[in-house]
Amino acid sequence: MLSVRGVTKRYDGDIAVSDASFTLEAGTLTVLVGRSGAGKTTLLRCIDGLEPPDDGAVLLDGATPNATDVALVFQSGALLGSKSALENVLDGGLGRQPAWRELLGWHDSDEKYAAIGRLHAVGLGGYADRRVETLSGGQRQRVGIARALHQNPDVLLADEPVASLDPETARVVLELFADIVRERDLVGLVSLHQPGLARSVADRYLGLADGRLVLDEAAGEIDPDRLMGVYDDG
Structural domain boundaries, residue 129: 79-152
The partner residues of 23 in beta bridges, in order of sequence, read: 3
Same domain, 57 and 171: yes
Same domain, 162 and 232: yes
pTM of the model: 0.91
What integer pLDDT is reported at residue 79 of this predicted model?
86
Whether 99 is in a domain gets the answer yes
Same domain, 142 and 161: no
Same domain, 158 and 222: yes
Among candidate residues 99, 124, 152, the one where a domain is terminated:
152
pLDDT digits (tens, 9 = 90+) for 54-65: 999 999 999 999
Among candidate residues 152, 182, 209, the one where a domain is terminated:
152
Whether 73 is in a domain gets the answer no
Q: What is the number of structural domains in the chain? A: 2
Non-local CB neighbours of 65 within 8 Å, separated by 6+ positions: 49, 58, 59, 154, 155
What integer pLDDT is reported at residue 123 of this predicted model?
92
What integer pLDDT is reported at residue 108 of this predicted model?
73
One digit per residue, the tens of pLDDT, for the chain of length 234 reads 999 999 999 999 899 999 999 999 999 999 999 998 999 999 999 999 999 999 999 999 999 999 889 999 987 667 888 899 999 999 887 765 655 555 556 567 788 889 999 999 999 999 999 999 999 989 999 999 999 999 999 999 999 998 888 888 888 999 999 999 999 999 999 998 877 888 889 999 999 999 999 999 999 888 888 888 888 765
Same domain, 112 and 223: no
Same domain, 126 and 182: no
Non-local CB neighbours of 4 within 8 Å, separated by 6+ positions: 20, 21, 22, 23, 24, 43, 47, 56, 58
What integer pLDDT is reported at residue 230 of this predicted model?
87
Provide the CATH number for the domain around residue 28.
3.40.50.300
What integer pLDDT is reported at residue 135 of this predicted model?
93
| Cα dihedral across residues 225, 19, 32, 189: positive or negative | negative
What integer pLDDT is reported at residue 77 of this predicted model?
62
Same domain, 166 and 52: yes
Among candidate residues 123, 152, 181, the one where a domain is terminated:
152
Q: Residue 8 burial by CB count (10 A; 0-12/13-18/19+): exposed, middle or buried?
A: middle
pLDDT digits (tens, 9 = 90+) for 101-116: 555 565 677 888 899 9
